[in-house]
């Protein structure tokens, strides 16, 4: 007889009558199974982060520098608590929102139309948490005067990448509250305002923003077909089709429509648009003469219900002056664009935090990733981008806080008007670029759905589209220049110069100071030359011009200002120097190459469509 041992299993093999071929095959299969079991698992440690507030040294140093000591003491305690809450309670809800997207039920079992949008319990819990944490209320209670808006933005920044997509309805809720506040909180809207800014989860409302129709996009002046018909009681009934309504499960919305006269005629263009307040459902949960056609099948932000809606006599209240809807809703757009910046910076910070932790754990080619210089250079470049974006965000909400408490000078208000579209367009592009680069730092694991990393990438891609694409916002930047008759550029340049003076005496920053001075000189030369050119020149230059404003202001006015603090760290100076190593004024470079003339426009068309 012969003894065969397989992984501790012994059997005696004798002659043919003692062991059949079938038994031998079973033993071979067993050996193969045991061998595979020990080799098929992937042995890599999952990247994790701790308390995002405590780990964010840039955030903490900014707050320490700018907040009054008493305010800093109070918000530090709350932010540390909130950071722990994000890890233990909110992060698991975020993943549940991703795994359980909204479901649309058009009919019930008996054939009755119900148009019900089912959301998961985690999504509903996110709404409750938003109220409990005062994520909207904080900005309107003004407990910390002009610093309240900045404090709210910091909490949203920490919350956004853990929110399971709920940061989007919060953006529109904040925007709706801002519009109502800007109207003086009329008596008819007091109840809505109180719900939007409530800390009570049972009372808290979220708001939608229904502007996009079948003709689509940012051209609301020509794309809005919805008609408002006045009723005997002074209210209106809305009739139309809303093509893209985010957060369709919200409690209320603001929307644009054209008021029909007695003959049923409407004024076309932006002069014909008025702003309306709409309750989506009544007290019993029935839709307000609204039919849901379908939910959108989106690339990202799948956690949130976005729908196509028919308004079939939806009861509404006119809240703007007739024909002044675009002007009235502009406050909402400013707030939602700032929220867009918050999300962009938050997603970048989250991806870099995970990438950094992974570099401490992952071994490749015999050593940890953190010990590979090229890998660390790549992460460092991303870190510089997110630092600049963060400081630009803080600058905007600081200025907004001053404006909301009547403490902003005329120059600061002009600067805010310019920086909002600049920051939105620039950080939207940064976020997707950083997310792609950070995903690559995980190798093949970055491509795996169950790591959650692809979710972040998909959700960042909307940030350069929602609330105005890059080109739309670049043209908005030009409008701000034209409307102020050049004042806004004068304020921009003087503000940069003042902030730069703080860094000019620091030898370590002198290369960055010189590079930025040269960039400003190039920008001024471009503006002087463009002043005598046709409008086509500025339109072709709009994107590069906006990028130049973003890079110059972020590098010169913010990163160097932060690095010039008495308690600045060496990494603060390093970030400023590295930021200024990039091309700070691409508009001047492209202008020198002849990229903006009429001939260039013809060449662009030929390249795109071909020429005979």
pLDDT digits (tens, 9 = 90+) for 428-487: 999 999 999 999 999 999 999 999 999 999 999 999 999 999 999 999 999 999 999 889
- What is the pLDDT of the chain when averaged over all its residues? 91
pLDDT, greater one: 20 or 268: 268
Determine which of 9-18, 302-311, 368-377, 455-464 has the lowest per-residue pLDDT on average: 9-18
Give percent of the chain above pLDDT 90: 78
Q: Is the pLDDT of residue 500 over 80?
A: yes
Task: Give, for 316, the enclosing helix (H) or strand (E).
Answer: strand 307-318
pLDDT tens string 521-547: 999 999 888 876 667 788 999 999 999
Measure Cα distances from 427 to 135, 344, 345, 389 in Å. 22, 6, 7, 6
What pLDDT sits at residue 28? 65
**143-184 pLDDT, tens per residue?**
999 999 999 999 999 999 999 999 999 999 999 999 999 999
Question: Of the ranges 245-254, 555-564, 603-612, which is most confident?
Answer: 245-254
Residue 1 has pLDDT above 50, yes or no: no
Long-range contacts of 484-492 (CB under 8 A, 24+ apart): 484/414, 484/417, 487/414, 488/414, 488/415, 488/417, 488/418, 489/527, 491/411, 491/414, 491/415, 491/418, 492/415, 492/418, 492/549, 492/553
Cα gap 256→348, rounded to integer Å: 33
Tokens 């900045």, residue located:
150
- Scan for tokens 């007091």, then name that residue: 190
The per-residue pLDDT for 29 is 65
The three-state secondary structure class of 405 is: coil
CA distance 144 to 226: 41
Query: Would you place residue 598 in the very low, low, confident or very high pLDDT band (cuts 50, 70, 90)?
Result: confident
More confident residue, 608 or 40: 608
**pLDDT confidence of residue 11:** 44
What's the pTM value of the predicted model, to 2 decimals? 0.92
Using CA of residue 93, residue 99, residue 104, residue 108, what is the dihedral sign? negative
Indicate the Cα dihedral angle 349, 354, 356, 362, nearest 10°: -170
What pLDDT, in 10s, does the model give residues 339-391? 999 999 999 999 999 999 999 999 999 999 999 999 999 999 999 999 999 99
559 within 8 A of 387, measured Cβ to Cβ: yes
Lowest mean pLDDT among 17-26, 73-82, 137-146, 377-386: 17-26
Q: How many CB atoms lie within 10 A of CB 45?
A: 11
Query: pLDDT digits over 84-110, tens only?
Result: 999 999 999 999 999 999 999 999 999
| Close Cβ partners of 608 (under 8 Å, ≥ 6 residues apart) | none
């Amino acid at each position: 007889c012969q003894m065969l041992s397989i992984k501790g299993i012994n059997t005696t093999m004798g002659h043919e009558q003692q062991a059949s071929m079938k038994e031998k095959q079973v033993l071979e299969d067993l050996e193969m199974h045991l061998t595979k079991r020990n080799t098929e698992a992937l042995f890599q440690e999952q990247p994790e982060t701790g308390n995002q507030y405590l780990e964010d040294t840039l955030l903490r140093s900014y707050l320490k520098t700018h907040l009054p000591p008493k305010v800093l003491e109070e918000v530090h305690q709350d932010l540390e608590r909130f950071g722990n809450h994000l890890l233990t309670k909110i992060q698991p809800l975020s993943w549940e929102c991703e795994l359980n997207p909204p479901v649309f039920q058009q009919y019930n079992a008996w054939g009755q139309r119900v148009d019900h949008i089912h959301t998961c319990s985690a999504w509903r819990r996110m709404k409750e948490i938003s109220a409990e944490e005062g994520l909207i209320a904080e900005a309107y209670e003004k407990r910390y005067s002009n610093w309240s808006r900045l404090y709210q933005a910091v909490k949203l920044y920490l919350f956004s990448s853990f929110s399971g997509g709920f940061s989007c309805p919060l953006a529109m809720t904040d925007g709706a509250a801002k519009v109502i506040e800007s109207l003086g909180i009329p008596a008819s809207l007091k109840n809505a305002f109180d719900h939007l800014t409530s800390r009570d989860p049972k009372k808290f409302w979220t708001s939608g923003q229904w502007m996009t129709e079948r003709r689509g996009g940012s051209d609301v002046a020509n794309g809005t077909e919805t008609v408002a018909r006045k009723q005997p009681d002074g209210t209106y009934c809305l009739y139309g089709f809303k093509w893209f309504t985010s957060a369709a499960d919200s409690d209320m919305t603001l929307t644009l429509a054209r008021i029909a006269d007695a003959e049923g005629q409407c004024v076309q263009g932006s002069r014909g648009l008025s702003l309306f307040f709409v309750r989506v459902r009544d007290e019993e949960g029935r839709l307000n003469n609204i039919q849901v056609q379908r939910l959108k099948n989106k690339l990202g932000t799948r956690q949130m219900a976005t729908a196509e809606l028919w308004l079939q006599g939806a009861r509404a209240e006119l809240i703007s002056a007739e024909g002044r809807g675009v002007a009235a809703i502009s406050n909402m757009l400013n707030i939602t664009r700032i929220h867009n910046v918050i999300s962009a910076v938050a997603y970048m910070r989250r991806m870099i935090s995970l990438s950094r932790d992974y570099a401490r754990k992952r071994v490749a080619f015999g050593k940890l990733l953190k010990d590979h210089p090229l890998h660390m250079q790549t992460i460092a470049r991303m870190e510089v981008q997110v630092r600049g974006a963060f400081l630009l965000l803080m600058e905007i909400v600081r200025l907004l806080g001053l404006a909301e408490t009547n403490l902003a000078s005329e120059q600061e208000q002009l600067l805010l008007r310019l920086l909002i579209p600049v920051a939105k367009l620039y950080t939207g592009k940064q976020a997707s670029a950083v997310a792609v680069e950070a995903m690559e730092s995980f190798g093949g694991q970055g491509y795996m759905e169950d790591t959650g990393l692809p979710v972040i990438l998909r959700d960042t891609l909307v940030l350069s589209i929602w609330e105005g694409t890059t080109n739309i916002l670049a043209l908005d930047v030009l409008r701000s220049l034209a409307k102020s008759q050049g004042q806004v550029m004068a304020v921009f340049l003087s503000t940069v110069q003042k902030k730069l003076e703080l860094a000019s005496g620091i030898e370590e920053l002198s290369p960055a100071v010189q590079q930025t001075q040269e960039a400003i000189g190039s920008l001024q030369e471009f503006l002087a030359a463009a002043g005598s050119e046709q409008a086509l020149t500025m339109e072709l230059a709009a994107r590069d011009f906006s990028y130049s404003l973003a890079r110059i202001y972020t590098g010169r006015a913010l990163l160097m200002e932060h690095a010039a603090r008495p308690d600045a760290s060496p990494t603060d100076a390093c970030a400023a120097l590295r930021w200024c190593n990039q091309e700070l004024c691409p508009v001047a470079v492209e202008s020198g190459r002849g990229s903006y003339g009429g001939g260039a426009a013809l060449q662009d068309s030929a390249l795109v469509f071909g020429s005979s």
